[in-house]
Amino acid sequence: MRYIVTGGAGFIGSHIAEVLSGEHEVVVIDDLSSGHCENLTGIDCEFVEGSITDLPLLQETFAGADGVFHQAAIASVPRSVEDPLATHAVNLTGTLNVLIAARDCGVRKVVMASSAAVYGENPELPKREEMAPDLLSPYAAQKLSDEHYAAVFSRLYGLSTVCLRYFNVFGPRQDPSSPYSGVISIFASRILNGDPIAIHGDGGQTRDFVYVRDVVQANLRAMASDAEGVFNIARGEQTDLNTLARSMMQAAGQEVAIRYGPPRGGDIRHSLAEISRAREVLGWRPEFTIQEGLAETMRWI
């Protein structure tokens, strides 16, 4: 099979490319705005440097492809708040380009990255796919609109689509130096350097962390199945930040100071996913415990 991975030089995309490359022809398209070529070291793939905002490039690149894993995005809530138009161009118009190019090239299926951001502050837990969205940022609006476009392309043009609502994904290659990086990669790099970590708020906030290799498997299952629609991808487990910080220090065998500061503006308090739809329809389940994922992440740092 010939598969395209948009954002394939990035954190999640490079893991998808790596697993596919053992068995399939893989084409990575990435504009290197947040991805890095080093993420593709040792991965057998064709690399196309370019942006999903370039429709003719996508139409050329997608020719002959069987499926597209669409991971390219400016994956940052704060960036979208600062610059709704620039993030719209990539996250929404870029995704529309991906769908159009896939349709035009006769691609069978597009599996794309959506986000738990669409649930916002809706206090009901666990978050279920059929819950009403609560949009708190341009990023959330862009991802929800992407889901709507995907559904419309399925109905109108027969392009099969799946949208995976990622919760808090962590693992190797999540750049700890990026200001938009996830809390686990930031904590891991600080703990291993012996530097203090900062907790925004009292540390009682919770997240549903999922290891990147499980996210890759969710993508592969979605591509292989006939299913369409929206699926939560998480472990279905709530971890508070104080517990996370303690287990990370334990795993690293290194104690560092914790500095508590004011809560971060726009943060949600609790997050937990209902993952039974992905289990039942895609036959996917998370295999890595948080401890196993943390150990692999720290080995990488």
| Minimum distance, C-beta of residue 46 to ligand UD2, in the bound complex (Å) | 28
Looking at beta carbons only, is 67 or 126 nearer to ligand UD2? 126
Instruction: Measure the CA–CA gap between 119 and 133, rounded to whole angstroms.
Output: 5
| Minimum distance, C-beta of residue 119 to ligand UD2, in the bound complex (Å) | 7
Backbone angles phi, psi at 47, to 5 degrees: -110, 125
| Minimum distance, C-beta of residue 183 to ligand UD2, in the bound complex (Å) | 4
Give the nearest residue (CB) to ligand UD2.
182
Interface residues toward ligand UD2, by CB under 6 A: 75, 77, 115-117, 168-169, 182-183, 186, 198-200, 205, 207, 241, 264, 267-268
Range 131-167 burial, b when 16+ CB lie within 10 A, else e: eeeebbbbbbbbbbbbbebbeebbeeeebbbbbbbbb
Looking at beta carbons only, is 263 or 283 nearer to ligand UD2? 263
Q: Identify any residues that bridge with 2 across adjacent strands, giving them in sequence order.
A: 25
| Minimum distance, C-beta of residue 211 to ligand UD2, in the bound complex (Å) | 12
Instruction: Measure the CA–CA gap between 27 and 24, rounded to whole angstroms.
Output: 10
| Minimum distance, C-beta of residue 233 to ligand UD2, in the bound complex (Å) | 11
| Minimum distance, C-beta of residue 129 to ligand UD2, in the bound complex (Å) | 15
Looking at beta carbons only, is 3 or 187 nearer to ligand UD2? 187
Looking at beta carbons only, is 65 or 191 nearer to ligand UD2? 191
- What is the identity of the amino acid at 294? L
Looking at beta carbons only, is 108 or 270 nearer to ligand UD2? 270
Q: Are strands 239-240 and 25-30 parallel, antiparallel or unpaired?
A: unpaired
Looking at beta carbons only, is 46 or 202 nearer to ligand UD2? 202
Instruction: Measure the CA–CA gap between 139 and 92, rounded to whole angstroms.
Output: 9
| Minimum distance, C-beta of residue 264 to ligand UD2, in the bound complex (Å) | 4
Looking at beta carbons only, is 175 or 228 nearer to ligand UD2? 175
Contacts of 230 (CB under 8 A, 6+ apart): 114, 129, 147, 162, 163, 164, 165
